Amino acid sequence: MYDANNVFAKILRGEIPCNKIYEDEKVLAFYDINPKAKIHALVITKGMYANFQDFLEHSSDKEITDFFRAIVHVVNILGLKEDGYRIVMNTGKNSGQEVPHLHAHILGGEVLPTDSL
């Protein structure tokens, strides 16, 4: 199910660069190359999961907790806590997921449109 040729796997292997925000042994966070908001970051797991569904079905409780705590840590680094933000995890074909490696989008820094929600 997991395809190790995806762009985020290449970033994790150091084959292509990223604009890094945060890294620990479990996750890597970096700025989206095509931002959809004033602040647009991505948080990815170092574990090889294709998306949210794959992650929740095949990871440990600790991995899930670590991932969500890392997202909040990145939110705090970005200074988005007070004014709020949006988390998006596109999952599968109908969501428009482009990169088949688990990632959370963090969008903020401005008032976000609500027309698609």
Q: Please state, in angstroms and rounded to a whole number, the distance separating the CA atoms of residues 81 and 116.
A: 23
- According to DSSP, the residues that pair with 106 across neighbouring strands are 41, 87
Asked if 27 and 101 touch (Cβ cutoff 8 Å), the reply is: no
With binding defined as CB under 6 A, does residue 23 bind ligand AMP? Answer: no
Closest to ligand AMP by CB, 60 vs 94, is 94
- E strand or H helix that includes residue 21: strand 20-23
Listed ranges 54-62, 72-80, 89-97, 107-115: which one lies at the site for ligand AMP (CB under 6 A): 89-97
Query: Does 80 engage in binding with ligand AMP (CB under 6 A)?
Result: no
β-pairing, 39-45 vs 20-23, is unpaired
* 96 touching ligand AMP, by CB under 6 A: yes
Looking at residues 28 to 47 of the shown chain, list those that interact with ligand AMP (rule: CB under 6 A).
32-34, 42
Q: Does 97 bind ligand AMP (CB under 6 A)?
A: yes
Residue 24 DSSP SS3: coil
Residue numbers of the site for ligand AMP (CB under 6 A)? 7, 16, 18, 32-34, 42, 90, 96-99
Catalytic residue IDs = 103
